[in-house]
């Protein structure tokens, strides 16, 4: 076995200890889910764009996760994929949630 090889599970477990990595991963979650569902549905980016009423480049930008999508755009994409958008608000400061 190659000494430099690290199993994915170990690599992931190590990275998940880094708050910056976890934040970046969470920010990319919608991009990952859109790409995953699109592929599962057997659609190209262009086909999905046509269903949504946008350009292929908009779907590509969404899937790259470069900028966060608007909720209305994400809702249109989700509807075209036969999915739904779920939004959850969480307290960043644990003491704020205990004082309410």
26-81 pLDDT per residue, tens = 778 889 899 999 999 999 999 999 999 999 999 999 999 887 889 999 999 999 99
Instruction: Say whether pLDDT at 2 is over 90.
Output: no
For residues 61 and 90, the model is more confident at: 61
pTM equals 0.68
**Domain spanning 8-81, CATH architecture:** Orthogonal Bundle (1.10)
Residues 6+ apart with CB under 8 A from 9: none
Distance of CA 99 to the CA centre of its chain: 32
Q: How far lies 35's CA from each of 5, 12, 30, 78, in Å?
A: 28, 21, 9, 11
Residue 11 banded pLDDT, cuts 50, 70, 90:
confident
Check: CB of residue 52 under 8 Å from CB of residue 80: yes
56-64 and 71-80 helices, crossing angle to 10°: 110
Say whether pLDDT at 94 is over 90: no
Q: Quickly count: other Cβ atoms within 10 Å of residue 30's Cβ.
A: 18
The pLDDT confidence band at residue 99, using thresholds 50, 70 and 90, is low
């Amino acid at each position: 076995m190659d000494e430099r090889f690290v199993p994915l599970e170990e690599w992931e477990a190590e990275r998940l200890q880094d708050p910056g990595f976890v934040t970046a991963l969470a920010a990319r979650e919608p991009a990952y889910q859109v790409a995953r569902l699109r592929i599962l549905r057997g659609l190209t980016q262009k086909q999905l764009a046509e269903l949504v009423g946008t350009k292929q480049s908009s779907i590509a930008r969404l899937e790259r996760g470069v900028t966060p999508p608007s909720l209305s755009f994400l809702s249109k994409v989700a509807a075209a994929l036969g999915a739904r958008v779920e939004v959850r608000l969480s307290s960043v400061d644990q003491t704020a949630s205990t004082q309410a």
